[in-house]
C-alpha cells in the first residue's frame, strides 16, 4: 500500500495500561498512582445495586475541600521566598494555569514536589532567558520549551545566583501573568491559608461541583477480578469494561440491535441487569490527596456485605496540564486525554486502567 493510503488508515497513537492487584497488599501501588497524577478535573463514582449516597462516602463527599481561582497572578510571586516557605515547603501546594491551551499558549504549573514547570513557546523562551529543554513533542524545529525550576532545592535560596536569575527573568525580563487554579493540602497545624496570603480582590474560593444521579435498569458486564483479559462466556475484559463505562457516563443507549441503522453499540457479553446504580460526579480542581481518601472509603464500602460485585472510580486529568503522571510531559495533539479508572471488587482486588493520548509518555 502506498504511504499516503497507509496514512489515511492510521489513527493517532494512544496507550492503555491495565493493572490488577489487591488493595491491601503491602506493596500495592494504587495510592502511588493516584498521588503521581497531580491535576484532576473530574471524578466519577459508579456503584451498581445502590440507590442513594452510601454512609461511608457521606463525610468524604460533603467535605471535598476548597480550591482557589487567583486572577492575574505573576509567576514571580510563586518564586517569592515567603510563598515557598509558607506553602511549598509545608504540605502540598498545587497550582495550574486556568484557560490556557498547552498547544498554543504559555502554561505554568506547580507540583506538590516543589517543582515549577513552565511550558512556553519559542519566543517567550528566548525572551525569558532561563535554562530549559525543547519539548519532546515539538518535532525537528523546536517550537515549545519546558523549563523546570526546583523551588525546594538547597541551592535555591534568596542570596543564591539561581534565585536571583529566576526572579530577574520572571520579574523584569519577561513578566508572565496568568489566572491560576490553586489548592493547598496540609495535615499539620493551621498556618496562613492561601485565602489570607493573596489580596481579597484577586482570589476567590470555590467548592467542587457535586452531582448525584440514580440510573435504572442498567446492564453491567460480568467481571472476574483475576481475569484481566476476560474469559469467553464468563467475564468481560478490561477494554470492554472501559468502553462500557464510557458509554454509561455519556448516557449512550446500551441496547441496540445489530441491524439498527443509527447505532449498533450494545453492552459487552456476559452481562447482568441491575435495578439501580448510583452515579456521583465531582467537578473542579481536585487534588490527589482527596481522591486517595475517597478511594479508601470506597474500599471500606465492601466491609459490609453488599449486592454489588464491583464499583468504579474514574478520574479525568486536565487536557491542558503540562504534566500527566509525575513529571512526564503531556501534550494535547488531538485529545489531550490523561485519565485513569479504578474497578474495586468485593474482595478488594482492584483493576486500574490508565489511558493517555499521542503526546504522552507511558504512565508509570
Partner 1 sequence: MARAEPPPATFERRVLRSAAGHHYLRVRLELPDGGARPNAAQLKQLVVAALKELHGEVGAALPVDVLTYEEKTLSAILRVVSSGFVKLWSALTLLGFYQNRRCAFRVLQTSPFLLALSGNSRELVLD
* Least distance CB 178 / partner 1 (angstroms): 15
Instruction: From 301, 252, 304, 254, select the one nearest 278 (Cα to Cα).
Output: 301
* Least distance CB 98 / partner 1 (angstroms): 8
Q: Cell 497507509 sits at which residue?
A: 6
Stretch that binds partner 1, among 45-53, 165-173, 293-301, 342-350 (CB under 8 A): 342-350
Stretch that binds partner 1, among 16-24, 85-93, 160-168, 195-203 (CB under 8 A): 16-24
Sign, Cα dihedral of 317, 98, 199, 210? negative
**3-class DSSP assignment, residue 116:** strand
User: 81 to 120, contacts with partner 1 by CB under 8 A?
Assistant: 98, 101
- Measured from the CB atom, is 70 or 170 closer to partner 1? 70
Judged by CB under 8 A, the number of residues near partner 1 is 69
- Measured from the CB atom, is 103 or 289 closer to partner 1? 103
Peptide bond into 45 cis (omega under 30): no
* Least distance CB 126 / partner 1 (angstroms): 28
- Measured from the CB atom, is 114 or 284 closer to partner 1? 284
Residue 357 interacting with partner 1 (CB under 8 A):
yes
Residue 7 interacting with partner 1 (CB under 8 A):
yes
* Least distance CB 154 / partner 1 (angstroms): 35
Distance of alpha carbon 293 from alpha carbon 360, whole angstroms: 27
Cβ(44)–Cβ(314) under 8 Å?
A: yes
* Least distance CB 196 / partner 1 (angstroms): 21
Residue 154 interacting with partner 1 (CB under 8 A):
no
User: 124 to 153, contacts with partner 1 by CB under 8 A?
Assistant: none
Residue 189 interacting with partner 1 (CB under 8 A):
no
* Least distance CB 224 / partner 1 (angstroms): 9
Residue-wise burial string across 32-67, b where 16 or more C-beta atoms lie within 10 A, e elsewhere: ebbbbbbbbbbbbbbbbbbeebbebbeebbeebbbb
The strand pair at 203-206 and 209-221 is best described as unpaired
Residue 22 interacting with partner 1 (CB under 8 A):
yes
- Measured from the CB atom, is 166 or 286 closer to partner 1? 286
Residue 318 interacting with partner 1 (CB under 8 A):
yes
**Phi-psi region for residue 275, left (φ > 0), alpha (ψ -120 to 50) or beta?**
alpha
Cβ(46)–Cβ(311) under 8 Å?
A: yes
Residue 362 interacting with partner 1 (CB under 8 A):
yes
The three cell numbers locating residue 234: 464468563
* Least distance CB 130 / partner 1 (angstroms): 27
DSSP per-residue codes, 217-284? EEEEE---TT-TT--TTT---HHHHHHHHHHHHTT---B--TT-SS---BPPSSEEEEEEEEEEEEEE
- Measured from the CB atom, is 192 or 269 closer to partner 1? 269
What phi and psi, each to the nearest 5 degrees, are found at residue 193? -100, 170
- Measured from the CB atom, is 226 or 272 closer to partner 1? 226
* Least distance CB 356 / partner 1 (angstroms): 9
Residue 202 interacting with partner 1 (CB under 8 A):
no
Rg of the chain, C-alpha, whole Å: 23
Stretch that binds partner 1, among 36-44, 109-117, 153-161, 214-222 (CB under 8 A): 36-44
The three cell numbers locating residue 144: 515549545
Residue of 64, 83, 178, 242 that binds partner 1 (CB under 8 A): 242
> Edge-to-edge strand order for the sheet containing 115-121?
133-134, 144-150, 115-121, 107-110, 92-97, 177-185, 67-74, 203-206
Residue 95, strand partner residues: 110, 182
Residue 1 interacting with partner 1 (CB under 8 A):
no
Q: Cell 520572571 sits at which residue?
A: 170
The secondary element (H helix, E strand) that includes residue 242 is: helix 238-249
Chain residues in the site for partner 1 (CB under 8 A): 7-22, 24-25, 27, 41-42, 44, 69, 98, 101, 206, 209, 225-226, 228-229, 238-239, 242-243, 245-247, 249-253, 261-265, 283-284, 314, 316-320, 334-337, 339, 341, 347-350, 355, 357, 362
Amino acid at each position: 500500500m502506498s504511504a499516503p493510503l497507509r496514512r489515511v488508515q492510521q489513527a493517532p497513537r494512544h496507550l492503555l495500561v491495565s493493572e490488577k492487584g489487591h488493595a491491601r497488599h503491602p506493596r500495592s501501588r494504587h495510592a502511588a498512582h493516584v498521588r503521581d497524577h497531580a491535576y484532576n478535573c473530574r471524578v466519577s463514582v459508579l456503584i451498581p445495586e445502590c440507590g442513594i449516597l452510601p454512609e461511608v462516602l457521606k463525610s468524604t463527599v460533603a467535605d471535598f475541600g476548597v480550591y482557589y481561582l487567583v486572577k492575574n497572578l505573576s509567576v514571580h510571586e510563586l518564586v517569592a521566598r515567603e510563598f515557598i516557605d509558607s506553602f511549598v515547603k509545608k504540605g502540598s501546594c498545587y497550582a495550574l494555569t486556568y484557560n490556557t491551551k498547552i498547544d498554543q499558549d504559555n502554561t505554568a504549573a506547580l507540583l506538590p514536589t516543589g517543582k515549577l514547570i513552565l511550558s512556553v513557546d519559542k519566543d517567550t523562551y528566548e525572551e525569558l532567558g532561563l535554562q530549559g529543554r525543547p519539548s519532546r513533542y515539538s518535532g525537528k524545529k523546536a517550537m515549545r520549551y519546558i523549563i523546570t525550576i526546583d523551588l525546594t532545592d538547597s541551592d535555591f535560596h534568596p542570596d543564591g545566583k539561581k534565585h536571583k536569575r529566576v526572579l530577574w527573568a520572571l520579574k523584569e525580563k519577561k513578566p508572565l501573568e496568568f489566572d491560576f487554579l490553586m489548592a493547598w493540602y496540609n495535615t499539620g497545624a493551621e498556618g496562613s491559608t492561601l485565602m489570607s496570603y493573596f489580596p481579597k480582590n484577586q482570589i476567590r474560593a470555590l467548592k467542587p461541583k457535586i452531582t448525584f444521579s440514580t440510573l435504572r435498569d442498567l446492564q453491567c458486564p460480568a467481571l472476574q477480578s483475576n481475569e484481566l483479559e476476560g474469559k469467553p462466556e464468563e467475564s468481560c475484559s478490561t477494554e470492554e469494561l472501559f468502553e462500557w463505562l464510557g458509554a454509561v457516563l455519556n448516557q449512550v443507549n446500551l441496547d441496540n440491535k445489530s441491524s439498527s441503522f443509527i447505532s449498533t453499540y450494545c453492552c459487552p457479553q456476559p452481562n447482568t441487569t441491575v435495578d439501580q446504580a448510583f452515579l456521583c460526579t465531582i467537578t473542579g480542581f481536585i487534588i490527589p490527596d482527596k481522591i486517595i481518601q475517597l478511594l479508601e472509603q470506597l474500599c471500606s464500602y465492601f466491609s459490609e456485605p453488599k449486592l454489588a460485585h464491583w464499583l468504579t472510580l474514574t478520574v479525568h486529568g486536565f487536557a491542558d496540564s503540562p504534566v500527566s503522571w509525575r513529571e512526564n510531559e503531556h501534550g494535547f495533539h488531538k485529545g489531550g486525554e490523561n485519565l485513569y479508572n479504578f474497578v474495586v471488587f468485593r474482595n478488594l482486588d482492584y483493576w486500574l486502567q490508565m489511558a493517555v493520548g499521542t503526546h504522552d509518555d507511558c504512565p508509570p
